[in-house]
């Protein structure tokens, strides 16, 4: 009877530890517009993605620090990163950044991922951009209808 109790307790502890590890390592994708509204997981890492705004890349001469703005065609978010950017990183291209938002509202990226060829865009980024592009188009059409 004692052995059954110990086995059951061991399984329960292993399950709890596994679930906790999944929860700590789970990284959510959050749209830039949602971050701008304050809807993001505070105190933990998450992913954002969008297009690098043309003319927004700012580098410190002789340093690996870089800041740039990302857009989902509705809102913009400043990203700070220290490290070597991917070879395919450039303005106007889609990227995903992993990190967290600091108190000043700047996304501090631990990792920046760029698309791996000219035609690919991460699905989360493509979906977010399509959603916001459709909303912009609908707003423009509504303005044309109203005198």
Closest CA relative to residue 99, chosen from 109, 89, 88 = 109
Neighbours of 129 (CB within 10 A): 21
Q: Are 84 and 112 in contact (CB under 8 A)?
A: no
Can you give the pLDDT at residue 146? 65
Which domains, ranges and CATH numbers included, belong to the chain? 27-145 (2.40.50.140)
Q: Please state the pTM of the whole predicted model.
A: 0.69
What is the tens place of the pLDDT at every residue in 79-134? 999 999 998 898 988 899 999 999 999 999 999 998 665 555 567 666 777 777 77
Residue 73, CA distances (Å) to 36, 97, 133, 138 in order: 13, 17, 6, 13
- Measured in whole angstroms, the distance separating CA 52 from the mean position of its chain's CA atoms is 12
What is the tens place of the pLDDT at every residue in 1-32? 777 777 777 787 877 666 666 555 556 888 99
């Amino acid at each position: 009877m004692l052995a059954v109790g110990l086995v059951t307790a061991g399984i329960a502890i292993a399950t709890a530890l596994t679930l906790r590890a999944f929860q700590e390592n789970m990284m959510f994708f959050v749209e830039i517009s949602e971050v701008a509204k304050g809807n993001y997981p505070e105190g933990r890492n998450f992913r954002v993605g969008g297009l690098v705004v043309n003319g927004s890349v700012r580098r410190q001469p002789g340093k690996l620090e870089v800041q740039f703005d990302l857009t989902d065609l509705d809102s913009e978010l400043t990203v700070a990163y220290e490290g070597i950017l991917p070879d395919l990183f450039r303005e106007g291209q889609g990227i995903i950044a992993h990190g967290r938002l600091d108190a000043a509202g700047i996304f501090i990226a631990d990792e920046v991922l760029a698309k791996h060829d000219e035609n690919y865009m991460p699905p989360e980024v493509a979906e977010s951009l399509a959603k916001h592009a459709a909303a912009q188009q609908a707003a423009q059409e509504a303005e044309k209808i109203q005198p």
